[in-house]
């Protein structure tokens, strides 16, 4: 196998190892640890420590960000110190290049062998043991992959050294920074790009002066993904991702400062780095780690101005305002019975909006009602918030009846979110056929059915569901007959006819999901009564 083959296979093993390690460490953490993680995010010091640990486990600050955003949306955590946890998660992910800087090829090969034998002879019994074995295999693969990359670099270095294009690249800090940014964007991780740079330095493909701008560019590119996510988030999510952008920019500025010092005062930098050893790869890994720590400290200092700037520049949209929960109190998380009752009330509040989605296509609709698209966006977001709140409750100690109730409310939130989406599609189709009398009759019939569903939800499932379920009887035959009559009518335009066909299909789907939602309310009420 040539050097290119070694390089590609090494990078492939490295990427597989990174994914395998993080994917199997997360299940090993367990519910209790996740609940402890949520509880630790209430003070600056514990938030920093928890963020570093979470970054080490997940190897993704973005994954930690989504966890924090779901906690805040679900009312489990206030949007205080907790929003800084993903910033410190970058410090945890930065430990990966430091591990790669250590020559662990032989231990990695031994681990691969042990896991291979255990897998072949089926020695790993139980999900937990399998997660342990696969996490160990992931760690071994990423380390052995970097060993293969270093093996490939030797022959490649000899051919590259005489190449004029390589000389130009090595001599241009801006080009090196661009290469590092491209690596980080391709791998979706600045830590992965830094780990590759560590291997290149350790194999003498790059020297310290060339690796510094490359790592700085990779670190700066790590902010791109966060920048993209900011506009589509509510205010808490915007703050989380904006703080990560600030952390990456600050860390990159520190690395750029080190680049300047390396160019102007190389002897001073060599003397300072000599304190941590003579291994250039380890020096780069430590500088990258220090940049993440420095960026996190700077971000902590600038957190308040960043919040104020975001609040001034960006305002909550109507959908974001409607998506805010009214009943999901984080203080109730310690009392499962109360928390489940509040979650059911929030679901009822969400279900009450279902008839409102039809207001702008009804003859007697309320024109001041928000558009269906806005209600859909808010409804799906609020449904996700309810589910996140319930997921946090399930991480705690619940009785069997409480677990069953939580799962029923979770299913109800899923159905309510899906109903919002289906109704928005129904409204789009209704606008195209609004001039046809049949469309208006369908709209009014659906509005009456959804009003009955909303009233049943208002009772929190306490009222007898038989009447509502009777109203929501199967409409398959009725809708099929209607489609046959519509296809025979010649006075309807093809566009309106197609829209009416879509309305009938969506009508059936909405009625089916509404039945499920009513059943969810009824069963959740009974489960709450018996718990």
Q: Does residue 323 form part of some domain?
A: no
pLDDT, position 154: 63
pLDDT tens track for 155-214: 666 666 666 776 676 778 888 888 888 888 887 788 888 888 888 787 777 788 888 888
Q: Does residue 373 form part of some domain?
A: yes
Q: pLDDT confidence of 490, banded at 50, 70, 90?
A: low
Q: Which H or E run contains 14?
A: helix 3-40
pLDDT tens track for 273-316: 777 667 778 888 889 999 999 999 999 999 888 888 887 777 76
pLDDT, position 494: 76
Same domain (yes/no): 336, 268: no
pLDDT tens track for 216-274: 999 999 888 888 877 767 777 788 888 989 999 999 999 999 888 888 888 877 777 77
Percentage above 90 pLDDT, the chain: 16
pLDDT, position 160: 62
Same domain (yes/no): 300, 190: yes
Q: Does residue 451 form part of some domain?
A: yes
pLDDT tens track for 104-137: 777 888 888 888 888 888 877 777 788 788 888 8
Q: Does residue 278 form part of some domain?
A: yes
Q: Does residue 325 form part of some domain?
A: no
Helix, strand, coil % in the chain, rounded to nearest 5: 80, 0, 20
- pLDDT average, residue stretch 398-427: 90
Res 513 pLDDT > 60: yes
pLDDT tens track for 374-386: 999 889 988 988 9
Same domain (yes/no): 186, 282: yes
Q: Are 339 and 391 in contact (CB under 8 A)?
A: no
- For all residues of the chain together, what is the average pLDDT? 81
Same domain (yes/no): 456, 493: yes
CA distance 212 to 229: 28
b/e burial code for range 439-474 (CB count within 10 A of at least 16 → b): bbebbeebbebbebbbebbbebbebebeebbebbee
Q: pLDDT confidence of 326, banded at 50, 70, 90?
A: confident
Same domain (yes/no): 211, 298: yes
Structural domain count of the chain: 2
- pLDDT average, residue stretch 396-412: 86
Q: Does residue 421 form part of some domain?
A: yes
Helix (H, G, I), strand (E, B) or coil at 232: coil
Among candidate residues 252, 286, 313, the one where a domain is terminated: 313
Same domain (yes/no): 297, 365: no
Among candidate residues 248, 282, 313, the one where a domain is terminated: 313
Res 50 pLDDT > 80: yes
Same domain (yes/no): 128, 53: yes
Same domain (yes/no): 182, 53: yes
pLDDT tens track for 388-399: 888 888 877 788
Same domain (yes/no): 287, 334: no
pLDDT, position 422: 93
- pLDDT average, residue stretch 76-103: 80
Same domain (yes/no): 230, 348: no
- pLDDT average, residue stretch 455-476: 82
pLDDT, position 158: 62
Res 1 pLDDT > 60: no
Res 30 pLDDT > 60: no
pTM, full prediction: 0.67
Q: Give the up-direction half-sphere exposure of residue 153: CA atoms within 13 A in the CB hemisphere.
A: 19
Domain extent for 123: 3-313
Q: Shortest CA distance to 310 belongs to which of 239, 228, 232, 227?
A: 239
pLDDT, position 313: 78
C-alpha 219, offset from chain centre: 20
Same domain (yes/no): 164, 139: yes
pLDDT, position 190: 85
Q: Does residue 318 form part of some domain?
A: no
Number of H helices, E strands in the chain: 23, 0
Same domain (yes/no): 154, 275: yes
Res 31 pLDDT > 60: no
CATH number of the domain residue 452 falls in: 1.20.58.220
- Of 306-310, 438-442, 473-477, the range with the lowest mean pLDDT is 473-477
Res 141 pLDDT > 90: no
């Amino acid at each position: 196998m040539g050097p290119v083959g070694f390089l590609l296979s090494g990078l492939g093993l490295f990427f597989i190892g990174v994914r395998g390690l993080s994917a199997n460490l997360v299940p090993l953490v367990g519910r209790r640890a996740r609940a402890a993680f949520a509880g630790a995010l209430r003070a600056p010091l514990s938030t920093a420590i928890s963020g570093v640990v979470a970054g080490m486990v997940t190897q993704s600050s973005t994954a930690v960000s989504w966890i924090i955003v779901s906690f805040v949306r679900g009312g489990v955590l206030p949007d205080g110190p907790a929003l800084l946890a993903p910033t410190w998660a970058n410090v945890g992910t930065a430990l990966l290049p430091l591990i790669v800087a250590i020559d662990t090829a032989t231990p990695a090969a031994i681990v691969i062998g042990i896991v291979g034998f255990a897998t072949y002879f089926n020695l790993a019994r139980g999900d937990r043991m399998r997660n342990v074995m696969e996490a160990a295999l992931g760690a071994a693969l990423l380390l052995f992959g970097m060993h293969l990359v270093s093996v490939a670099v030797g022959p490649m270095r000899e051919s590259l050294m005489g190449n004029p294009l390589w000389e130009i690249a090595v001599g241009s800090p801006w080009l090196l920074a661009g290469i590092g940014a491209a690596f980080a964007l391709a791998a979706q991780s600045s830590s992965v790009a830094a780990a590759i740079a560590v291997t290149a330095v350790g194999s003498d493909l790059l020297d310290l002066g060339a690796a510094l701008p490359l790592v700085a560019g990779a670190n700066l590119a790590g902010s791109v993904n966060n920048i993209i996510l900011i506009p589509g988030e509510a205010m808490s999510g915007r703050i989380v991702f904006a703080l990560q952008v600030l952390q990456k920019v600050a860390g990159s500025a520190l690395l750029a400062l080190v680049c300047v010092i390396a160019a102007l005062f190389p002897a001073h930098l060599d003397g300072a780095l000599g304190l941590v050893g003579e291994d250039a790869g380890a020096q780069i890994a430590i500088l990258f780690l220090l940049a993440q720590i420095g960026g996190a400290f700077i971000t902590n200092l600038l957190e308040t101005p960043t919040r104020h700037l975001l609040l001034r520049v960006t305002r909550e949209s109507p959908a974001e305002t409607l998506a805010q929960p009214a009943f999901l109190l984080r203080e109730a998380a310690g009392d499962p019975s109360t928390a489940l009752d509040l979650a059911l009330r929030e679901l009822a509040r969400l279900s009450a909006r279902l008839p409102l989605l039809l207001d702008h296509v009804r003859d007697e609709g309320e024109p001041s009602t928000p558009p269906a698209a806005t209600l859909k966006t808010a409804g799906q977001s609020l449904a996700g918030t309810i589910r996140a709140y319930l997921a946090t409750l399930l991480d705690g100690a619940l009785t069997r009846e409480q677990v069953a109730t939580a799962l029923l409310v979770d299913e109800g939130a899923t159905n309510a979110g899906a109903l919002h989406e289906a109704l928005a599609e129904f409204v789009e189709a209704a606008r195209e056929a609004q001039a046809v009398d049949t469309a208006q009759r369908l709209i009014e019939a659906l509005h009456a059915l959804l009003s009955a569903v909303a009233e049943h939800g208002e009772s929190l499932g306490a009222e007898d569901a038989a009447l509502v379920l009777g109203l929501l009887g199967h409409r398959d035959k009725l809708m099929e007959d209607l489609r046959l009559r519509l296809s025979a009518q010649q006075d309807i335009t093809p566009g309106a006819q197609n829209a009416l066909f879509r309305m009938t299909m969506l009508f059936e789907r909405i009625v089916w999901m509404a039945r499920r939602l009513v059943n969810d309310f009824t069963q959740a009420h009974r489960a709450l009564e018996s718990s």
